[in-house]
Amino acid sequence: MTRAGSLVLILGLVAPVALAAGLPPAFRMPSGFTDVPPSNLKYVAFDGVAIDDRGTDGRFHAVPREGHVWTFDVRKPDTRADQAMPLIAASLAGDGWTVVRSEGELVAKKSAGGSTFWYRSYPNSERVVVLEECPPPRKLELAPPAATVEAPSDRDFTFALPFPGGTFVRTAHDPGMIEIKPKGAAQPLFLHPDATKWYALPPDVSSYEFVKVKSAALQLAGWSIEREAIGSDGVVIAHFTKTGRDIWLYDRAAGQESITVADLGAATTAGRLKHDLATEGHVALYGIYFDTDSATPKPESETTLRNILQLLQSDPSLQLEIEGHTDDTGAAAHNEQLSAGRAGSVQAWLTAHGIAAGRLTVHGYGATKPVADNHTPEGRARNRRVELRRRS
């Protein structure tokens, strides 16, 4: 999943709506050109288009514009598209448009009815785009995740509601894993999801609108947006690490919306750690995050570190070995040193927060104790971990 490098017209999730019945406001078909048959006219309630405009350096630059978007054909019988462009430019100028560019492509701008309109076409194509600038027609408001873990629900997540107008379809509990690549990370995470909620979307939602609306709502609720993708489907990946929570969200629109949540914070609460240590003797942690080849925990590791701290504070007799593990990429000696450094940094954080050093030992095992296949990205991600082991 990669973020789109520029804004493009996206129609993959769109069905025509009422406004598509006619040509866009402020545009009049040039004299002698054919009317647009309904089958050639498409309307999107909200989308993004990169339209050339002249910058302060005198050169043309693709400037992102967003709003209502129409695409249709402008055709004159027995006239090539490149021959038609000067005629269209003259017609636009006579109808109150300002021609911004006429070489390479035709770009024009017009203010009408309190709105700004943009026209774009290319010399060898009859297809044109008209955009009316406007904000998203729909808005979503989200409450941030609470300080305590919410009770499971067969309906909506309380902190991750569907796109406006979406209707609940089902809840799925998939035993598989989801791949998430955090912003700026060289390596992906593979996480076990708690659940996925499926929703039917309104028929006129573009992937561009989906991503813009969902990202804006999540950011306002305190989430960090780790990744966006706009294409035939829309994807938003977000991370919440406030109020003692550590939640990953994978939100995708592809015909239907699917919201997948992996709550790592809930998996490492002091009570959960105590139970796993009592029953298994050890527990693997994936909520302590490191940059590639770094032994310094990233700030978003705070939730898991504080859960370990609470575990140790609640049981003064508990003694732990903190283990560092890597995948098998790189030299064995380097992996052993890196894993020991990561375990040591967890120990240092805990002792800095009041835990006696004698209760903690550290060991770096490198790649010698894999829990998954190092020949797959998923397996390598599972092997990169910190473990806690009860000392007898």
> Contact at 8 Å (CB) between 198 and 184?
no
Residues 378 and 277 in one domain: yes
Question: Rounded to an integer, what distance in angstroms lies between the CA atom of residue 267 and that of residue 271?
Answer: 9
What would the two tokens of residue 60 be? 């043309």
| CA distances, 387 to each of 5, 23, 265, 282 (Å) | 39, 63, 15, 7
Residues 356 and 287 in one domain: yes
Structural domain of 316: 268-390
Does a structural domain hold residue 119?
yes
Residues 177 and 66 in one domain: no
Does a structural domain hold residue 218?
yes
What is the per-residue pLDDT for 333? 97
The H-or-E segment that residue 263 falls in is: strand 256-263
Residues 95 and 26 in one domain: yes
pLDDT by residue for the chain (392 residues), tens only, comes to 333 333 333 333 433 333 445 789 899 999 999 877 877 899 999 999 999 998 899 899 999 999 999 999 999 999 988 899 999 999 999 999 999 999 889 999 999 999 999 999 988 889 999 999 999 999 999 999 999 999 888 899 999 999 999 999 999 987 788 898 888 888 889 998 999 999 999 988 999 999 999 999 999 999 999 999 999 999 999 999 999 999 999 999 999 999 999 999 998 999 999 999 999 999 999 999 999 899 999 999 999 999 999 999 999 999 999 999 999 999 999 999 999 999 999 999 999 999 999 999 999 999 999 999 999 999 999 999 999 999 97
Does a structural domain hold residue 65?
yes
What is the per-residue pLDDT for 4? 34
Residues 272 and 386 in one domain: yes
Does a structural domain hold residue 246?
yes
Supply the CATH number for residue 289's domain.
3.30.1330.60
Residues 277 and 213 in one domain: no
**Domain-ending residue, one of 264, 291, 312:** 264
Does a structural domain hold residue 159?
no
Residues 246 and 285 in one domain: no
Does a structural domain hold residue 248?
yes
- CA-based end-to-end distance of the chain: 45
Quote the number of domains for the chain. Answer: 3
**Domain-ending residue, one of 264, 282, 317:** 264
Does a structural domain hold residue 150?
no
Residues 282 and 242 in one domain: no
Residues 92 and 36 in one domain: yes
Residues 237 and 290 in one domain: no
Report the DSSP beta bridge partners of residue 385: 325
Residues 227 and 308 in one domain: no
**Domain-ending residue, one of 264, 297, 330:** 264
Does a structural domain hold residue 373?
yes
Q: Between β-strands 167-172 and 195-200, what pairing exists: parallel, antiparallel or unpaired?
A: antiparallel
